[in-house]
Chains A and B, each alone.
Chain A
Amino acid sequence: QKEVEQNSGPLSVPEGAIASLNCTYSDRGSQSFFWYRQYSGKSPELIMFIYSNGDKEDGRFTAQLNKASQYVSLLIRDSQPSDSATYLCAVMNAGKSTFGDGTTLTVKP
Chain B
Amino acid sequence: DTGVSQDPRHKITKRGQNVTFRCDPISEHNRLYWYRQTLGQGPEFLTYFQNEAQLEKSRLLSDRFSAERPKGSFSTLEIQRTEQGDSAMYLCASSSGGAGELFFGEGSRLTVL
Is A1 part of the contact surface with B, judged by Cβ < 8 Å?
Answer: no
Number of A-B contacts (CB under 8 A): 59
Is B65 part of the contact surface with A, judged by Cβ < 8 Å?
Answer: no
Q: Are A95 and B100 in contact (CB under 8 A)?
A: yes
Provide the bound-state CA to CA distance between A43 and B106, in Å: 6
Is A49 part of the contact surface with B, judged by Cβ < 8 Å?
Answer: yes
CB < 8 Å neighbour of A34 from B45, B50, B101: B101
Binding site secondary structure of chain A? strand
Provide the bound-state CA to CA distance between A32 and B102, in Å: 12
Provide the bound-state CA to CA distance between A84 and B22, in Å: 31
Q: Are A32 and B107 in contact (CB under 8 A)?
A: no
Q: Which stretch of B13-21, B35-43, B71-79, B80-88 is in the interface?
A: B35-43
- Chain A, interface size category, equals 20 to 34
Known A95-B56, A96-B56; judge A88-B43 contact (CB<8 A): yes
Sample of 14 A–B contacts (CB below 8 Å): A34-B100, A34-B102, A43-B104, A43-B107, A44-B91, A45-B104, A95-B31, A95-B50, A95-B100, A96-B48, A96-B56, A99-B42, A99-B45, A101-B41
Residues on A lying within 8 angstroms of B by beta carbon are: 4, 8, 31-32, 34, 36, 42-46, 49, 51, 88, 90, 92, 94-102
Residues on B lying within 8 angstroms of A by beta carbon are: 31, 33, 35, 40-45, 48, 50, 55-56, 91, 99-107
New A-B contacts (13) at CB < 8 Å, excluding given A34-B102, A99-B44? A4-B42, A31-B100, A32-B100, A42-B106, A43-B104, A43-B105, A43-B106, A44-B104, A49-B99, A92-B100, A97-B45, A99-B42, A101-B40
Leading 8 A-B pairs by shortest Cβ distance: A99-B42, A43-B104, A92-B100, A101-B42, A99-B43, A32-B99, A32-B100, A49-B99
